[in-house]
Amino acid sequence: MTRIFIPGSYTLWPDDQSLGPASPPYSPQTIGSERILEASSPLGSGTMDDVDPLWSPSACFLYRSTLVDISLGRRVWGLRQPVYGFNGLVEGAIKLSEKCTHVVRLEVSLLGRIRVTVSNRGMLSEAINHDLVSSPVVLSCPPNGVFTPTEESFPFSIPFPSFVNGGTTPLPPSYGTWLPTFSAEVEYCVRVDVSRKGFRRHELRVIPIMYLPKTWPSHPIPEKELVFSLHPALTVYKTVTLTPVWPGDACPEARARATIPTLSFPSSGITFSSGHPVPLRLTVQSRGAPALASLLIQGVEAQLAKHLVALAKDGQVVGGRDIVLSKANFIHTDTSQEGLAVSCFELTLAEPGKEQSWRIADTLEMHYLIRVSVRRPDGAAKFVPTYQHVSRIGVASEAWGTREGELLRFGGFSAPAIGMSDQRLELRPASSMPW
């Protein structure tokens, strides 16, 4: 019996291994049905080695026009826009085409700005613009009398500053939110200005980029057993009382003897890592009405909210946005003692690496709120209040470590907080900021 083997195909013989080989024969020489793959330059003829890595369209951020080509370096983080971390270097190069003659000035600028708009009934009622960064660099131009560009590229390197212009406030990350009556944007860009002699067209190019600095927690989140047991070694927590909220027709005597629940809460100025659960403990003590403690503990609710606030020059709040990120996960409730009820629960600080507290004084602020409330029993509005407590908590993007430690590990380089990248910012066709 004769069998024909097609080159390049595999044949299995499950029943009788002696009838033929498990795979077709191969040889060093190619046959008619095989092809050879060879690497070639993406820009045309030649090999891959002929392409300057800075100008590879598949590996770099390239922005081209008829007069100017701009490269902002390699695509490292897999995003649609260049992204930089703390003190990141905006490095790239500029090439002038043969048509871009009579250039007298070539300037590259790193710019950052906050823009807040508030509208009322379709009319603009408030507009806030605040400059964050302005770092221009003038590149070397052809000497006087030489107006024909050469094939050389003009490299540049501009570092992100640590603080906002003229202050000590850290630069905020890229951010954007758009609502029908309120919008807030924190944007950065690279602006290229090519000035030409005479009445020739001035070339201006604005390239949006993203700035996502990492932040680190001030303290590790304590073990939940320490919080639930009120361990004396727990120094990053404090005890706060919830505020009673009474209806207008409440009984005066009930107001005087009202039970006040207490909450074990992180101290002021403490920053924890995003994505990690924060343990909390709520205590209701009512010796005079033992059943009330058990009833109140059943109405405990807690949530984490992301709160953006925009301020006018006079300090008045002109707009904002509030988003609930997570709700409490109750661990256990103890009502074994008469007149005493304890509820232990955890509140997760959103998703790992995606949240971060920041602020620009008197302009824009992003903070996080933990809201805890206790509902009163049905039908007891005149005798039992509801209880509320709202406090800020600092949130950092990273889980552990310090900025100094990362700089030492990576030779003075800090990677961006990629988890904070907002796809809405990436997918926008162009920057709406009036640069």
pLDDT at 21 over 50: no
The pLDDT value recorded for residue 27 is: 67
What are the two backbone dihedrals, phi and then psi, of residue 56, each rounded to the nearest 5 degrees? -80, 120
Say if CB 341 and CB 287 are below 8 A apart: no
Q: How confident is the model at residue 7 (pLDDT cuts 50, 70, 90)?
A: very low
- Written as six digits, the tokens of 350 are 């959103």
The pLDDT value recorded for residue 147 is: 57
Put residue 188 in one of left, alpha, beta given phi > 0 → left and psi -120 to 50 → alpha.
Answer: beta
The pLDDT value recorded for residue 232 is: 82
Distance CA 160, CA 413 (A): 12
Q: Which residue has the tokens 């030779």?
A: 411
Q: CA of 407: how far to CAs of 64, 76, 326, 394, 413, in Å?
A: 34, 18, 33, 23, 5
Distance CA 128, CA 146 (A): 44
What are the two backbone dihedrals, phi and then psi, of residue 131, each rounded to the nearest 5 degrees? -80, 135
Distance CA 412, CA 408 (A): 6
- 398-422 pLDDT, tens digit per residue, is 988 888 888 888 788 888 999 898 7
Distance CA 74, CA 54 (A): 7
Rounded to the nearest integer, the mean pLDDT of the chain is 82
The pLDDT value recorded for residue 114 is: 92
The pLDDT value recorded for residue 1 is: 45
Average pLDDT over residues 183-191: 93
The pLDDT value recorded for residue 5 is: 42
The pLDDT value recorded for residue 59 is: 87
pLDDT at 355 over 60: yes
Cβ neighbors of 382 (< 8 A, separation 6 or more) are 247, 249, 250, 251, 254
Distance CA 287, CA 279 (A): 26
Percent of the chain clearing pLDDT 70 (strictly above):
82
Range of weakest confidence among 212-216, 220-224, 241-245, 250-254 = 250-254
pLDDT at 23 over 80: no
The pLDDT value recorded for residue 56 is: 84
pLDDT at 319 over 90: no
- 264-301 pLDDT, tens digit per residue, is 989 888 899 999 999 999 999 988 788 888 889 999 99
Distance CA 72, CA 279 (A): 44
**Residue 299, class by beta-carbon neighbours within 10 Å (0-12 exposed, 13-18 middle, 19+ buried)?**
middle
The pLDDT value recorded for residue 146 is: 57
pLDDT at 427 over 70: no
Beta strand pairing status for 243-245 and 123-139? unpaired
Average pLDDT over residues 14-38: 54
The pLDDT value recorded for residue 24 is: 55
Look up residue 170 and give its DSSP letter. B
- 357-397 pLDDT, tens digit per residue, is 999 988 899 999 999 999 988 877 778 889 999 999 999 99
Which is higher by pLDDT, 67 or 27? 67
Say if CB 374 and CB 299 are below 8 A apart: yes
Say if CB 156 and CB 139 are below 8 A apart: yes
Cβ neighbors of 156 (< 8 A, separation 6 or more) are 90, 91, 92, 93, 94, 108, 137, 139
Q: Which residue has the tokens 């100025």?
A: 269
Distance CA 140, CA 148 (A): 14
Say if CB 293 and CB 242 are below 8 A apart: no
- 34-73 pLDDT, tens digit per residue, is 555 554 444 333 343 455 777 888 889 999 988 899 999 9
- Written as six digits, the tokens of 116 are 């807040």
Average pLDDT over residues 206-227: 91
Which is higher by pLDDT, 25 or 376? 376
Q: How confident is the model at residue 250 (pLDDT cuts 50, 70, 90)?
A: confident
Q: How confident is the model at residue 252 (pLDDT cuts 50, 70, 90)?
A: confident
The pLDDT value recorded for residue 18 is: 45
Average pLDDT over residues 6-30: 50
Average pLDDT over residues 91-110: 87
